[in-house]
């Protein structure tokens, strides 16, 4: 499954269906991707684990319920990530807030995808809240993880117009399509050096990566 010449090794953390993990895995198989997924780990039984395992990826269920404390659970998770050889961590629908200690252990190396145009709508129920506020635009962000929830530097975003007929379900489905384009693009860019993240600073060296994306006319890609 993994590409032999891959340099960037990522651990993908999930809690559910794992569609973003699958998008990352699919992209890892394309000729231009220079990253490999060396572990898919979940904090609870998650559909995405069997998808990953069927795709030939290493998986680990590190069930929060098997540990008496969050600290013990995160220690086991960190050890599994380190043992896998991963040098970056991608949160892909990992629905547990990581502690400051865990984040410090992998400082500057944790990336998250969040279904809103940060800094708007941190936390949960982003689509519902965007609709309730009659927002004209909504979208998705990929950002660095810091100890403050959904607060780290934005690496890139994709924005779409909210339609008058949009429901929570339709908006979430439209944003998910963008998520599956944006996350692989960002991780691929990190692997190729098109974007660098030094000391929490996002620096795009090459934005021509956008040319390879097939985006509909009403979608905007925003570099962080």
Q: Name the site residues for ligand GAR (rule: CB under 6 A).
A: 14, 16-20, 48, 92-93, 113-115, 176, 179
Burial status of residue 9 (CB atoms within 10 A of its CB: 0-12, 13-18, 19 or more): middle
CB of 115 to ligand GAR, least distance (A): 4
C-alpha to C-alpha distance for 202 and 154, rounded to whole angstroms:
8
CB of 141 to ligand GAR, least distance (A): 9
**137: phi > 0 → left, psi -120 to 50 → alpha, else beta; which?**
beta
Which active-site residues does the annotation give?
114
Tokens of 63: 């069930």
Place of tokens 């290493």: 58
**116: phi > 0 → left, psi -120 to 50 → alpha, else beta; which?**
beta
C-alpha to C-alpha distance for 222 and 205, rounded to whole angstroms:
14
- Comparing CB distances to ligand GAR, the nearer of 82 and 168 is 168
CB of 176 to ligand GAR, least distance (A): 6
- Residue 123 CB neighbours (<10 A): 11
Please list the alpha-helical segments (H only) found in 29-167: 47-54, 70-84, 100-105, 126-132
CB of 16 to ligand GAR, least distance (A): 4
Q: State which residue has the least CB distance to ligand GAR.
A: 93
């Amino acid at each position: 499954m993994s590409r032999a010449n891959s340099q960037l090794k990522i651990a993908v953390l999930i809690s559910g269906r794992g569609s973003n993990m699958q998008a990352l895995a699919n992209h890892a198989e394309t000729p231009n991707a220079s990253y490999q997924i060396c572990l898919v780990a979940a904090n609870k039984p998650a559909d995405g684990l069997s998808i990953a395992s069927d795709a030939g990826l290493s998986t680990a269920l590190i069930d929060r319920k098997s540990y008496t404390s969050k600290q013990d659970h995160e220690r086991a998770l960190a050890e599994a990530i380190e043992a896998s050889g991963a040098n970056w961590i991608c949160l892909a629908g990992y629905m547990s807030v990581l502690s400051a200690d865990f984040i410090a252990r992998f400082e500057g190396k944790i990336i998250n995808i969040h279904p809103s145009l940060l800094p708007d709508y941190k936390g949960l129920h982003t689509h519902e809240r965007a609709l309730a506020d009659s927002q004209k635009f909504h979208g998705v962000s990929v950002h660095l993880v810091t100890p403050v929830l959904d607060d780290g530097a934005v690496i890139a975003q994709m924005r779409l117009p909210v339609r008058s007929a949009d429901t929570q379900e339709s908006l979430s489905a439209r944003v998910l399509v963008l998520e599956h384009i944006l996350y692989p693009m960002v991780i691929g860019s990190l692997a190729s050096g098109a974007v660098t993240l030094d000391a929490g600073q996002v620096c795009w060296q090459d934005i021509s990566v956008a040319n390879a994306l097939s985006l509909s006319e009403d979608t905007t890609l925003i570099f962080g």
